[in-house]
Structure 1
Amino acid sequence: MPITTLRGLALLGLREGQEMSLINSNGVEEKILLEKVEYQPEAARREREALGREERTPAPRPILYVVSGGLDRRHGLGSNPTNGFYDPGPPAA
């Protein structure tokens, strides 16, 4: 069931045997019971790792680093003009 539906969204975070109540688009209360989880990819991966059947891969390194004010210091854009209006323009976006 896709999580883009109200029922699918209600199932997120539930464990087997847990129940959730929601009000549908017609204003009627529905109770949803999660009877069984057929397959959980993340749990299956952890189980394979525990059994030694799958090697752990290192977490990917981030490809983007945010440096606060990095360009301002390098290019001398850090000071405001004397009239008090500062618009860094498109490069700031």
Structure 2
Amino acid sequence: MAANGDRRKEVRFATDNTGPQISSISPADGSTVSSGRVEVTVAAHDAVSNVASTTAVLDGTKIPVRDSFPAEDIPAGKRGSRARWLDIGSSRGC
């Protein structure tokens, strides 16, 4: 208690301004898939507050992460995919 009667309490906390970091993604950038099953996997980690969610997008359409589907189901040509992670503090990783 302070001399003037005020009560004070010290509180310690951590801030997390750094988004999750990618550790692996499949299919790999620049790879070619010609037959069989395409397995979409992503992995990320966050040293402070853990990964809260992962979103994957293939040609503009959200797809389940850790998904597998026949390569023949995807039209021939170059495809674009991306993934986004949020940690518990809503910091983004890409």
TM-score (norm 1): 0.21
Structure with greater helix share of residues: 1
Task: Pick the structure with greater CA Rg.
Answer: 1
